[in-house]
Structure 1
Amino acid sequence: MSTALQGAGPGPTLSRSADLVIVGAGVVGAAAAYFAALAGRRVVVVDRGAIAGGTSSAGEGNLLVSDKEAGPELDLALYSQAVWREDLAEHAGLWEFEAKGGLVVAATEHSVAGLRELSVHQRASGVEVHDVGHSALHEYEPHLSKDLAGAAFYPQDAQVQPMLVVAHLLRLARGLGATVRTGTEVTGFLRSGDRVTGVRSTAGDIPAGAVLNAAGTWAGEVAALAHVAVPVRPRRGFVLVTEPMPPRTVRHKVYAAEYVGDVASSDAALQTSPVVEGTDSGTILIGASRERVGFDRTVSVPAISTLAAKAVALFPMLREVRLMRTYHGFRPYCPDHLPVIGADPRAPGLWHACGHEGAGIGLSAGTGKLIAQALTGGQPDLDLTPFAPDRFTDRTQDAEEAVS
C-alpha cells in the first residue's frame, strides 16, 4: 500500500525513522520515552514547545495515593509508586524524590468519619493509612491549627521536582538512543490505509511503527488530526509560593479532606481546597484550585486570595508570611476522571497516554512502563481496559462540551 497523509500537506521526510514517535515532551512522554528506549525501541520525541513546557512545569510534583478512591486510578497510583521506588530508585536523587508522606486533615468529626470510611477501602487496595486523632496532630505538624478534629497519615505519599523528572528522563532516554526534537509541531499523521505509520511535522515527516499521543492538555487536538475523539479538556489551577521559612516548618504534604472530593468533581466553577507543603529551599507551596475556563491564562485574584485564606486556616502562622510569587497552568481533565492509556482501535498504530489531570506527575512512571510493555508485545502489569481510548460515547462527549 502507498503511504498517505491525513491532516497536512506534503513535506520532506526526515532521515531517521522510528519504532515510536512520542508527541509531547512532558512528564508522561518522557517516562514513556525512557521505558521504550530501555526496551530497545528507537524513539523520537517531538514537542512544539520546550521540554516540560506545559502542565509539567506548573504543578507541585505530587506522587499521591491518599487522594484516590479504590478503583483503577488508585491501582495505577500504587503501581506507579512501585515504579518510582524500584525501577527508578537509582535515579531518585536527580529529581529530588522525597518520601515525605501525606497528612489529610479534617475540621469536624463528620469529616473525620468520612476519612475513616475512605481509608477502609483504600487499605483493602493496598494503601498504608494511619488514623490520627486530635491529640496526636501536633506530633506530625507542630504549626497546625488547634481547631482540627483529626487526620489520616499516608506514608506512601511522596514528592518530586517535576521539571527535573522530565529533563533527566529524557536525558536518560537519549543515552539509550532516543532523539528529542523541541520546537517541532505535529501537523498530521502518515497513514497506510487506516493505519497510522508516523507523523508529519514542521520539521518534516517521521515514519514510525507507532505514534504515542502524550500531548497533555492538547491531546484532544492531536487525536483530532487522526479523526478520533479523546475528550481531554484544560482545568486551570494556581499554586502560591511563600518566602523561605526554616527547614521543616511544614513537614509533610498537608491538605484538607475536601480536596479528595474536589479532585473527583466535574464542576466547572472555581473550587479551592488547601494543600500546603514545604520544600528543601524553605519555600512553602500552597494549592490547590480547579476551574474550567478553557486556556484562559488570566491571573485570578479570587482563586489566589481564597487559597491564601484557607492555607492560613490550616497553618495560622502563615498569616505573617509573605507571598513571594504565584504560578498556574492547566491540568488535562477527562470527564470520567481517568487517564487515557493504550492503543486506539479506531486508528491502528496510534496510542494515547494523556488525561491524567492533576495526578500526571505521580502516574507518569507507571503509565510509561505500561505503555512500553504493551508496545513491545508484552502483557502489561496492569489491565489497561479501564483506560481504553475508545471508552467515551458521543453522549459523554456532548455532555462534557455542554458544560465546558
Structure 2
Amino acid sequence: MKLPKKIGLSLALLSMAIAASTTVHAQIKVGHIGSMSGTLGALGVDQYDGFMLRVAQGDGKLGGQAVEVLRHDDQSKPEVGLLIARELVEKDKVDVVVGITASNVINAVFPYVVEKEVPLIGTNGGPSPFAGERCSPWFVSTAFQNDGPHEGAGQEAHNRNYKKVAVIAPNYQAGKDAVSGFKRFYKGELAEELYPGLGQNDFSAEITQLAATAPDAIYAFLPGAMGINFIKQYSQAGLMDKFPLLSSFTVDDITIPALRDAAVGSLVSTHWVSGASNKESLAFIEAFKNKYGRTPSSYAMQGYDAATLIHQALESEPEAAKDKQALMKLMRNMKLASPRGELTFERNGFPIQDYSIWKVVSQGNGKVAFEQQGVALKAHHDAYVSQCPLKP
C-alpha cells in the first residue's frame, strides 16, 4: 500500500506484521497495536506476549476458531498508531483491534476504530474521555481506567495519614489522569506537582525540587525506562528512607529486574503484580515463564485477558466470529476469568476490580519480591462511568 508523500513513511518502516497462525483460512483476524520499541517498548512486548500465550494455549485458536494475529509497532506515536489502525481496518479487514500501550496513541486510534464499528480491546491505558461522555459500545478494556491505580494510591496516602505529598508524572494524558486520580482520594495537601516530558531520563532537578518541599511522602507515576531512572536516582540520593515513596506503574515487574534493591521499601498501588498468590495467577505466571523465560507483568496479564475474553465469547457463541456487533456485545457482558479473579465490566467497557497496595521487600542476594499490604479500593468503579450516556 502506497502512503501519501506528505507522510513520508511506509508501513514497512513503521511496523512489523507477524502471522501468529499459519492457518490459511483464519476465522478470526486480530490486529495488535502496541509500543514495541522505545521507552515503552517492554510494556508493548509484554502486552503482545501475554496475548499470544493464550493463543498458543489454544493451539492457535480462541474459542475453537483459528486465529491470525497481525503485530504492529506504533512507536508511541499517535500519528503512527492511527496510520496502522487504518491499514488494519481498511486493508487487512481485521475482526478485532487489540492492544495500544500509550494513552496519547489510544487518544488517536479510539475515535477512528469505534467509528468504523470494529471491536477494540484495550490492554493498557484508559483515558478519562473514553470512560465518560465519549464512551463507545465498540470498546472494552482488560486493563484499567487510567485514574484507578492512582486513586488506590491516593486512598492509601489518606489511610496512612500523610498530610503533605509531592507528586511527579509525565506531561501527557496518562500523567494528568494519574494526578487527578490521586487527588480524588487523597485529602491532604499537595506540596508539589511536577510534569517532566514523556521519555525523560535525568531527574536530578526534579528530585531536588521534590526533596525541597520536605513532604510526608512522594507519589510517582513514571512508566517503563522513566521509572527505572527515577527510582535509581532517588535511591542514590538517599531519599527512599527519608521520604516514603508510593507509586503506580513505576516499580513493577517490568522495572524491578533493573531496580532490585534500589526499590526496596517503596509501596506500589496496582490491580495485579507477580506477587499475587491465588491459583489463577500462579498458573498464569508459570505458563508465561515457561514460554518466555521471564516473569510476566500486569501488561502481559492484560494482554492474556484480552485473548481470554475473545476465547470465552466465541466459546459461548461460535457464530459471533462472523458478526462483529454480536462479538462486541458478548465481550462487554462477559464474566472474565482473569488471574485477578472474575471480572465484570462497566457500561463504558472498563473493568470493575480491586486496587491493592504492595511493598517491595528484600529476599537477600539482590533478590526482591512484592508483599501485599492490603486492598486500598475493593471492587472499584471508575470515576467517569456516570458520564457515559450508554444504557447499563
TM over 0.5: no
Query: 1 or 2 for the larger relative contact order (CA 8 Å, sep ≥6)?
Result: 1
Larger Rg: 1
Structure in which a larger fraction of residues adopt helix: 2
Structure in which a larger fraction of residues adopt strand: 1
